[in-house]
Structure 1
Amino acid sequence: MKPVRKAIIPAAGLGTRFLPATKALAKEMLPIVDTPTIEYIVREAIESGIEDIVIVDGKSKRSIEDHFDSNPELENNLREKGKDQLLKLVEETTDINMYFIRQSHPKGLGDAVLTAKAFIGDEPFVVLLGDDLMQDEEPLTKQLIRRYEETGESTLAVMKVPHDQVSEYGVIDPAAQVDDNGLYRVKTFVEKPKPEEAPSDLAIIGRYLLTPEIFEELENTKPGKGNEIQLTDAIDSLNNRQHVYAHEFKGSRYDIGSKIGFLETNIEFGLKHPQTKDALRAYIKELAAKL
C-alpha cells in the first residue's frame, strides 16, 4: 500500500459571497486575525505528514502564489531591523513543496481535482477544502491517513450536524458502523436532503482521502447541478467498485465560507491570539454592556 504523500487544495472559486473584497483579492487570502485562511489549510496538510501540495487556482489568484513565494526585499528589511520573529513567520511559508495548476474554467470541485491528475499519478491523496478550518489534538487530515492505513480505501470526513441543517450539506447513508470510534461503511451519498428524508445527520465536511481510481470516475462523471462536475457523484460511483468509508470528526470545525462564520472564527481565534486576546475580550465586554 502506497503512503499518502500528496494533497490537492482547490482554490479556483470566485468568492462571490465576499464581494467586493474578493473582486481583486483571492478569497483564500482573507485573514483570520493575521494569517490567510489558506495558510491554515496548508499547515494542516504539512502537520499531517503531507510532502507535496498542489493548489488548483484560477484567475485573480496570484496573491496565493506570492504568499508562498520568497520576498527578498521584505526578508532583508526584517533581517536588518532585527525582527527575527517576523522573519521566521515569513520564511516558514516558503519552505514548502508547493505547486500550482490553473483551472481555466469553473467547472466544479470534481473538475478541479481532475485537473491535478498528472500531479497525483497513481498514489492515494487528500483533498482539503478552504471553507472549513478544523482543530483537534490530531489534525483531521492525519486522522484520515490513519484510517486509510487501516482500510486501504477512500475515506471521507463527516461530522454530526443539527438535524434541521442537513439540507445545507451532502450527508451519508451509512451501511454499517465499523468500530466504536466513528468509522462507517457508506451505502450511498445524498446531496442536501430535506430533513425528513435525510438518512443520517452525518454531513460531509471539507476533507477527503481518495484512491487514484477516483480519476477514472471523474472522467466518466457527467456535469450535474450548475453544469459542474460534482466530486460527490464520482465518489458515489467509486463506492460501487470499492468500499468508501466515512470517518466522524469530533473536533472543532469553523465554517469560514460565509460572512457570519468568517466573523465568528476571527473572534474566536482573536480571543486565543497572544497579541489580541486581552484587548479583544475587554472590547467585547464593553460592547456587550452597551447593547
Structure 2
Amino acid sequence: MADENAQSFVIGDVEVLRVVEWQGPYLPAGDLVPDCAPEVWRTHEEQLVPDHREPDGGRAVLALQTWVVRGGGRTVLVDTGVGNGRERPGNPLFHRRQGNFLDRLERAGIRPEDVDVVVNTHLHGDHVGWNTRDAEGEWVPAFPRARYLLPAADDHHFGPAGGYGGGARPDDRLVYEDSVAPVHRAGQAVVWEDTYRIDEHLVLEAAPGHTPGSSVLRLESRGERAVFVGDLLHSPVQILHPECGSCFCLDPGQAAKTRLRVLQRAAEKRELVVPAHFSGGGAVEVREGSGGGEGFTLHRWAV
C-alpha cells in the first residue's frame, strides 16, 4: 500500500489503517480551542507546529479522516467524514464538497461491499458524511453490507424526535436527513446505548459531552490497546491541558470530565489514543504529566 493518504499500524492481531479525506489549516487555533490562552499555545509550540498549528501562530491544522480496523475477518470503519455533494451552508469547507474518498478507500484495498461495520462515534456532519452516497438523486447507504452503529442519545438529539438538535444549527437537519435517515430506511442502523460489543476486540462505550451520545471505541488484541476518541480531542493541546474544550462541544463541562477520564485510563492502560481529527502523526501514546496537575504528555506518535 503506497497511497500517501493512507497509513497503518498494528495493535496485536488487528491492523488499523488511516484514510484521509482532507487535511489542512482550519479555524484560528484560539477559536477552535477557546479555553486555551494564547500563552498555552506558545508554551507548547515545539510540540504543535507545524502538524497541528500553522507556524505563524494562526490556524489549527486538522484532518478529516476515517480509521479502518481490520481483524478477525471483519472490516470496521470508524467515522466517515464529510461526504460529497452535501448542502452545508453553515460550513463553507463542507458545503457541496467534492472529493475522492471512496477511491482512496479502494486504493487501500477496501471496496464498499467489503465493509462489515460502520461506527459513528457521534452524529456531527464531519463524522457521518460517507454513510451514504447519491444514487440518481437519492441518498442510499454507501456500504451496502454494513451495520451502522449509531449512539442512541445522538440519534434522538439530532433526529426528528429531538427537533434536529433543537434547531440550534440548521445544518443538523440536513446532516440527519442525508446521512443518517437513509441508513434507518435501509434497515442497516443499529442504535445502541451505554456499551456495545462489536466482537472480541472492539467495544463501544458512551463518552458524552461533545454531543449527548459521543462515544469511544476501545480496541484490545494480545494485550495491546487503542482507544478511538472521536472529537474528545481536536488538538494535542487538549492532551497537555484537558480542561480546554473545543468550540464544538455542546456540554463543555461534561466533555472536559470525560476527556480527563479517558486520558487517565489511556495513560494507565497504555492505550494508544486515536482522535478523529489529528493531522500529522494522527495517533499518540500519552503519559501522566510530571507537574502534579491534570495535564498529560505526548509520549510517542504511532504514524
- TM-score by shorter chain over 0.5: no
Question: Which structure would you say has the larger RCO, counting Cα contacts within 8 Å and 6 or more residues apart?
Answer: 1
Flag the structure with higher helix content.
1
Under a length normalisation based on structure 2, what TM-score does the superposition of the two structures give? 0.29
Under a length normalisation based on structure 1, what TM-score does the superposition of the two structures give? 0.29
Please say which structure displays the higher CA radius of gyration: 1
